[in-house]
Amino acid sequence: MISIDRTISGLDERPVVGQLEELGIPRHHYGVVRAVQSWRRAAVPPDAAFALWMLRECVPDRGGLPRRREATAEDTGPTIRYMQLALAAGETMRTDPAIGHFAGWIMECQLEDGSLPANLGVAYGEVGTTARALRVLRQVEAADATRRMRNFLIGTSVEAAHGRAWSYAREEPTLVTGATSLAALALLEIDPHEALLPEVVTFLLDAQEPCGGWSEVPGHEATIHNTFNVVRFLQAARETGTAGSEIDDALARARAWFRRKIQRRPPRIVLDLAYALRLAAQLELTQSREVERLAMRLCRDRGRLLSPSSDLYAETEIAAIALLECSRHLDSLAAVLPCWQWRWSLPSVPPPFLCRTAYLYELLYGLFHARWWIRTVDYLVAASVIDRATGLLLGTIAALGFVDDFVTGALASTGMDARGIASIILVGGVIVLWLAVKCCASSSLLYAFRTSLWSLLAACLLTWLIYTPTDLAPGMLTIVGLRWLVIDVIAHTAGSSGLLNRLIPR
């Protein structure tokens, strides 16, 4: 609402405070606006910033980051990936205390041989996990831990028929391209002149599939995930001079394979979409219209990526890293490109983890960007109008089923005899008991009765619409009272249980 063009860049510093006042937003929210402005200065797209925001809310007081909010950490992957994202966004241990907390926890998990296990409680370390941890710990100056990890990686390399490579762990005999690429990249960043790196380049070039991609185990179907790992290392090796022109043909074939892959069968799940974007950045294909469509598809899934119930490792973190890498690659290009400008747009609807009211209200806020509409929705939120209307509707529908023709016929046939008086006492007693329950919940008899007036009005209206000829007492009173009771119970239950949120999923 306070952005000129609905992007981060449109948050002009001067009119911000005045616009907050006009919209009735408290002044202490000005800090939130300043934080959003800092995203653009740090070149971090809103979707990546929102992901980091949500992840910080999931940081535990002790231990590593779990895959799911409120769960317990079972593996080291989410913690490593959080540090990777935070450091890539420009955070430091001073600006983000979670980085130091997680770095210490990773070092606690380090085994005696210097390796790091992928899953907690496992007695052996994994090459790929150790390599990824080494890359992030190098940036926080954990010298002893990184030295031991480097020694582990060098000591576990295996001589292959063509070059040198790694398996998943010491206990695994099968050489794989994923662990090999990750280990080689970590060693390359420490020392570009590491003696075994040229042999690793030889192995990876020999492992390329005829189609142009790479598979985890040479000879199998190529995947985007493994191709990204290999291409990222080869590109880094060329930049440092470790590899030369011999990789140009391999990268050209990989580029052609990737184009065919996303044209014939575009990836659809979050993990595949994220790695496709990361590979596109490595192959300098982010300007392609097909790649931009993949990015837009990934961002449209914001309701799941930024949901408190998301998989933090396989959805939230990897998607944010992919968007950040692509955005940084686009920013590095000399020409100002018309593509991908949407990446700086702020979402009309807040991410699910920031929604504090019924999601329907958030949809209403994003429907029109006019001040009169915002004030109207503010009133609807304050008065819970839609929640109450939904509860009354559900209660009225239930009353039609509970107080059906058989019940109304039986009550309408009663007179001022013992049966009629008993029905009045029974229905009236239950209504009084229900109002007492509501009074306990709200601590106010007046409030409990006032909130029931709409249910009474709905019961009278329903009785008038489907009128059954009978005397006012006891027939009409018991029919209206019974319908009032059913409608009010359903309406109150729907409102207090947040049923409106469940009817409209995020």
Task: Give the pLDDT of residue 336.
Answer: 58
CA-CA distance, 61 to 231, in Å (whole number)? 38
Q: Which residue has the higher pLDDT, 377 or 284?
A: 284
Confidence of residue 409 (pLDDT cuts 50, 70, 90): confident
| pLDDT tens, position by position, 24-79 | 666 666 667 777 778 888 889 999 999 999 999 999 988 999 999 888 888 999 99
Q: Give the mean model confidence (pLDDT) for residues 435-454.
A: 78
Q: Is residue 20 over pLDDT 70?
A: no
CA-CA distance, 194 to 188, in Å (whole number)? 7
State the average pLDDT for the chain: 85
Task: Give the pLDDT of residue 397.
Answer: 87
Q: Which residue has the higher pLDDT, 470 or 267?
A: 267
Q: Could you give phi then psi for residue 122, rounded to 5 degrees?
A: -90, 140
Confidence of residue 12 (pLDDT cuts 50, 70, 90): low
Which residue stretches of 346-496 are H helix?
359-365, 371-383, 385-402, 405-412, 418-442, 445-465, 477-496
User: Distances in Å between the alpha carbon of 390 and those of 352, 360, 364, 501?
Assistant: 21, 11, 15, 11
Q: Is residue 191 over pLDDT 90?
A: yes
Query: What is the gyration radius of the CA atoms in the chain, in angstroms?
Result: 31
Confidence of residue 141 (pLDDT cuts 50, 70, 90): confident
Task: Give the pLDDT of residue 373.
Answer: 77
Q: Give the mean model confidence (pLDDT) for residues 234-245.
A: 91
Task: Give the pLDDT of residue 33.
Answer: 72
Q: Is residue 193 over pLDDT 70?
A: yes
DSSP state of 351: -
Q: Give the mean model confidence (pLDDT) for residues 125-138.
A: 95
Amino acid at 362: E
Task: Give the pLDDT of residue 493.
Answer: 82
Name which of 300-314, 353-367, 410-424, 474-488 the model is least confident about.
353-367
Task: Give the pLDDT of residue 56.
Answer: 93
Task: Give the pLDDT of residue 356.
Answer: 64
DSSP state of 313: I
Q: Could you give phi then psi for residue 7, rounded to 5 degrees?
A: -120, 170
Q: Give the mean model confidence (pLDDT) for residues 366-389.
A: 76
Q: Give the mean model confidence (pLDDT) for residues 272-293.
A: 94
**Could you give the count of Cα atoms lying within 13 Å of 448 in the half-sphere of its Cβ?**
16
Comparing CA positions, the residue from 495, 486, 427 lying closest to residue 456 is 486
Q: Is residue 422 over pLDDT 90?
A: no
Task: Give the pLDDT of residue 137.
Answer: 94
- Give CA 36 to chain center in angstroms: 18
Q: Give the mean model confidence (pLDDT) for residues 120-126.
A: 88
Q: What does the block give as tokens for 35?
A: 């934080």
CA-CA distance, 219 to 338, in Å (whole number)? 41
CA-CA distance, 127 to 129, in Å (whole number)? 6
Confidence of residue 175 (pLDDT cuts 50, 70, 90): very high
Q: What does the block give as tokens for 189?
A: 């960043």
To 5 degrees, how large is the angle CA 468–CA 471–CA 475?
Answer: 70
What are the beta bridge partners of residue 214? 223
Name which of 191-205, 231-245, 262-276, 445-459 the model is least confident about.
445-459
Confidence of residue 132 (pLDDT cuts 50, 70, 90): very high
| SS3 category, 176 | strand
| pLDDT tens, position by position, 151-162 | 999 999 999 888
Q: What does the block give as tokens for 283?
A: 């192959």
Q: Which residue has the higher pLDDT, 356 or 248?
A: 248
Residues above pLDDT 90, as percent of the chain: 46
Residue for token digits 């005397």? Answer: 471
Task: Give the pLDDT of residue 13.
Answer: 54
Comparing CA positions, the residue from 98, 89, 32 lying closest to residue 63 is 98
CA-CA distance, 477 to 470, in Å (whole number)? 10
Task: Give the pLDDT of residue 298.
Answer: 93
CA-CA distance, 183 to 174, in Å (whole number)? 15
For residue 403, count CB atoms less than 10 angstroms from its CB and return exposed for 0-12, middle for 13-18, buried for 19 or more. buried
CA-CA distance, 267 to 270, in Å (whole number)? 8
Task: Give the pLDDT of residue 16.
Answer: 58
Comparing CA positions, the residue from 238, 158, 172 lying closest to residue 205 is 238
Confidence of residue 369 (pLDDT cuts 50, 70, 90): low
Amino acid at 105: W
Confidence of residue 464 (pLDDT cuts 50, 70, 90): confident
